[in-house]
């Protein structure tokens, strides 16, 4: 039961963040009572924290796995990350890809949850900075650009594309936007 609760809660949070998380909707979907959910999770905040911790751990493992596939080749890593983004859109439609994206922009979020989301963004940025430095050493990126600047730009474009992918309905528009990350990173190639 606990795993089923977490799965539904994660989908709710990806779709609308903390404010979208509903014990009532989860209970209804599982044909159980809210009391049964409270047996597993004390309250909405403890459920959201568990969902976010699991999501963050999975995401960070995926990012590290992708980075390990392309050591010293940040442009290929970026291409793989963009391919994942569009693949996620095709298979999930208008459901966000990141729980933390939803959390960070909502006003009424518990501090503990907000801190988890911020920590995740910082870990993501650190991984990107490390990959940029490796790529500069390997000669696949220009060595004169600040790795933190490249990381900030990559994050802005990735998160922006992630949000746009939720709202683009015209496939011709989608096709015009695909490749944005790849085009961006090419300006840093030697």
Q: Where do the domains of the chain lie? A: 52-186
Per-residue pLDDT of the chain (190 residues; tens, 9 = 90+): 999 999 999 989 888 888 889 999 999 999 999 999 999 999 999 999 999 999 889 889 988 999 999 999 999 999 999 988 888 777 766 566 677 777 777 788 899 998 998 899 899 999 999 999 999 999 999 999 999 999 999 999 988 888 887 778 888 888 898 999 999 999 999 9
Angle at CA 76, nearest 5°, toward 71 and 81? Answer: 105
CATH T-level fold of 52-186:
Tetracycline Repressor; domain 2 (1.10.357)
Distance CA 115, CA 21 (A): 18
Distance CA 187, CA 182 (A): 9
């Amino acid at each position: 039961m606990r795993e089923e609760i977490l799965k539904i809660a994660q989908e709710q949070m990806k779709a609308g963040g903390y404010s979208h998380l509903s014990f009532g909707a989860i209970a209804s979907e599982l044909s159980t009572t809210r009391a049964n959910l409270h047996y597993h999770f004390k309250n909405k905040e403890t459920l959201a924290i568990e969902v976010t911790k699991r999501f963050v751990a999975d995401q960070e493992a995926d990012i590290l796995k992708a980075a390990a596939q392309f050591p010293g080749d940040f442009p290929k890593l970026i291409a793989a990350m963009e391919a994942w983004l569009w693949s996620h859109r095709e298979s999930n439609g208008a459901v966000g890809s990141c729980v933390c994206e939803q959390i960070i922009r909502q006003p009424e979020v518990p501090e503990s949850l907000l801190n988890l989301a911020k920590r995740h963004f910082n870990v993501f940025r650190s991984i990107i900075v490390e990959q940029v430095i490796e790529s500069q050493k390997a000669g696949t990126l220009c060595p004169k650009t600040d790795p933190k600047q490249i990381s900030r730009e990559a994050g802005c474009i990735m998160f922006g594309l992630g949000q746009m992918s939720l709202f683009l309905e015209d496939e011709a528009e989608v096709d015009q936007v695909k490749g944005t990350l790849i085009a961006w990173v090419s300006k840093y190639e030697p």
